[in-house]
Each structure stands twice: as C-alpha cells, then as structure tokens.
Amino acid sequence: MASPELAHLGWRPFFQQQIKLEHRDCPACRVVAQYRNRLELLCQAGGVELALDPAMPAITVGDWLVLTQEGRFLQLLERQSLFRRKAPGRKVDEQLIAANVDTVFIVTSLNEDFSLNRIERYLSLANEARVEPVVVLSKSDLCGESERFQREVQKLDPLLMVESINCLDAGEVRKLLPWCGTGRTVVFLGSSGVGKSTLVNTLLGDAVQHTGSIRAKDGTGRHVTTGRSLHPMKEGGLLLDTPGLRELQLTDCDEGVNSTFAEIAALAERCRFADCRHDAEPGCAVRDAIARGELDERRLASYHKLIREQAVNSATLAEKRARDKRFGKMIKSVLSEKRARRT
Ligand SMILES: Nc1nc2c(ncn2[C@@H]2O[C@H](COP(=O)(O)OP(=O)(O)O)[C@@H](O)[C@H]2O)c(=O)[nH]1
Ligand SMILES: [Mg+2]
Ligand SMILES: [Zn+2]
C-alpha cells in the first residue's frame, strides 16, 4: 500500500465528478486517521499529514479531500454516506464518526444475544447513515435452528441481506467477500462477544502485515503503530474501525427508524388522525393491520421504543450541553466577581 491505486482506497466516479477542472491534477486523499490537531491521509503518492485548521470544514475518517500541489487543504468532497452523532439544533454540535462507508455488517450471534429488536436498532443506524446493511448471524455452529432464525430476520424486510456464519470457519467467512472487494469500505456493528474480531481477523488475514508498510514514523524516525482507522482487507476492501462507531447510539435518528419500519410509516399515513399514536385511537390503520395479522405486535412495540429512545437521547444531549454552558457561565461570573472584589 505504499502507493495505492486510488480505486483501492475507494475512489470512484461520484468523487471524481466533484473535482473542478482546474484542480484535476491536484492529489485526492482519503482520511485514514484523525488526531486532535492533524489528519493522516493516504493518496496515490503514499501517506500525507495535514494539520487541522479551524477554517476547514468538519472532516472525519473515510472522507475524501483534495489538496493543492503544495499539500494544503483545497476541498472536502461530498460524502456518499455518513455516520454521525447528531444533536438537535446547531450543526456545530454534530460529531462526525465515519464517512463513505459502503456496507455495515450487523453481527448478532445465534444464542442469547439474538434479538430482532437489537437488529432493528442497528438497521436504524445504518439507514440513517445511508449505508447498506448486511445482517450476519454468527455462531451458527452452536445453533440447531439457524435457518429458522434467518427466516425470522428476513421477515423484517424481504430485500434485507442475511447470512448465518460460523466465524471460526474461514470457508464460511467467505460468504462476506462479495461486500469486501477492491475499494469497498465496510464496518462491523454488534454487541461484545458476538464474533466481530474473529471475522475481522479472518478478513484482514495477511493484509495485516500490509498495514506495516503504511505505518508512520514518529519524531525519532521509529515506526509507530498509529491509531489508524482504515485497514486494508485481503480481498481488496477496507475495514473501517473507529472507537466512535462502537459507542454509536440513536440520537436524532427519526429518518433512520422510519425507513427501517417503512411498512408502519406507510400504514400510519392511513390512520384517521395525523398524530395517531397507534394506541387505542379510532380509525388506526396500524392497529387494524395487527388485528388482521399483517403486522406483529412486537414490531410496533420495537418501533415505538426506538422512536422514544432516539428522542430521549437527543434531549439528554441537548440538556447536557445546556448544563455545560450554564456551568461555564457560572465559573466565569464567580471569577469576575472575585476580580472585582480584589480591585
Ligand atoms: N463456536 C463459535 N464461536 C465463536 C464464533 N464467533 C466467535 N466465537 C467465539 O466467541 C468469542 C468472542 O468472539 P470475538 O470475535 O472476540 O467477539 P467480539 O467481541 O464481537 O469481537 C471468542 O471466544 C470466539 O472464538 C462462532 O461463529 N462460533
Ligand atoms: Mg472484538
Ligand atoms: Zn394509528
């Protein structure tokens, strides 16, 4: 990966089209790591560092940038997808987590961990980010009824991709390769212990050694393992692994939840009251569908729970910010009072 082909880093026409004619010869770089005051980028010429500057837009791992020939920031390219922690109100309060991810593997194991509700939560995150989800049911070797579980998940959405896998069997992990080809960027989401690391290790394979060649040197010229977030996979794709993803919660995720439960949103359009809560209101098309056996009670409950959860999380985030602000103001006024008393 010393001088990777741009296509291997995920470059495609969508990005190319955004470059102005006069910048055609300027290097395009992908953000592979982010630190407090600098970014680590990869371009055709190899690794590049870019000092963060408050004048630059918010940038995150996975983003594509165009630099000047001298290596200064020129342009942040529009993203195909974006995981973020949104907060209500001002845009500056957003925390960007990962950009330009193609596929999210939602891993859940075929034992006590299995939960349709949890899968729906992850699907909401994926849909909000506009990333294609693939549900991976792990530990199929420990479950005698993996096909039944697979059918249950498939019922959530007939077009959803669902694979059941024994992660310990490299042959079975091959089921994920169609999404891991050259230039494809993937992430893994799922509870602890479901088999994510096991899958990742198999997919990285020898490519792990490869990352050594894109290691940065520290001030003394020694090679250091940086906290890089993009890792090349054996099959040519890129694994994006960043701490923020692991802690991703539903905040302000209305669209993501509603597209995950598209059939409920469609039914709700036919409820008599526009603000129907599908509880006991007359003329409720959602309750009617449940009565006819066309919609699961569980699914409606899960929908309500997720809508509530994202609203509560957004509110707490807003409250916390307001509290921090009040605290800051209080400290300031105490200090200035002190100063006033001294003079
Ligand atoms: N039997 C079986 N064990 C698995 C499978 N996937 C993972 N494990 C085991 O489950 C444990 C947790 O796996 P790990 O990959 O660390 O999970 P993570 O926390 O999601 O990264 C390890 O002991 C794995 O060997 C599987 O498909 N079948
Ligand atoms: Mg792990
Ligand atoms: Zn209703």
Q: For residue 93, name the pLDDT band (cuts at 50, 70, 90).
A: low
pLDDT at 222: 42
Q: Is the CB of 50 under 6 A from ligand 1?
A: no
The 10 Å Cβ neighbour count of residue 195 is 22
Name the residue of 105, 146, 167 to mutate for ligand 1: max ligand atoms within 8 A of Cβ.
167
Q: For residue 214, name the pLDDT band (cuts at 50, 70, 90).
A: very low
Q: Which whole number is the average pLDDT over 309-329?
A: 78
pLDDT at 1: 42
Ligand nearest to the CA of 276: 3
Q: For residue 245, name the pLDDT band (cuts at 50, 70, 90).
A: confident
Q: Is the CB of 121 under 6 A from ligand 1?
A: no
pLDDT at 219: 43
Range in 66-75, 249-258, 268-277 with the lowest mean pLDDT? 249-258
Cα of 259 vs centre of ligand 3, distance in Å, is 17
pTM: 0.87
Closest CA to ligand 1's atom 7:
195
pLDDT digits over 151-166, tens only?
Answer: 999 999 999 999 999 9
Q: Which whole number is the average pLDDT over 297-302?
A: 96
Q: Is the CB of 47 under 6 A from ligand 1?
A: no
pLDDT at 230: 92
Q: Which residues, in sequence order, are bridge partners of residue 295?
A: none
144 pLDDT above the threshold of 70: yes
Average pLDDT, the chain: 88
Cα separation of 117 and 23, whole Å?
47
pLDDT digits over 3-51, tens only?
Answer: 568 999 999 999 999 999 999 999 999 999 999 899 999 999 889 999 9
What ligand 1 atom has the least distance to the C-alpha of 192?
A: 19
Cα of 156 vs centre of ligand 3, distance in Å, is 20
pLDDT at 250: 87
Proportion of the chain above pLDDT 70, given as a percent: 90
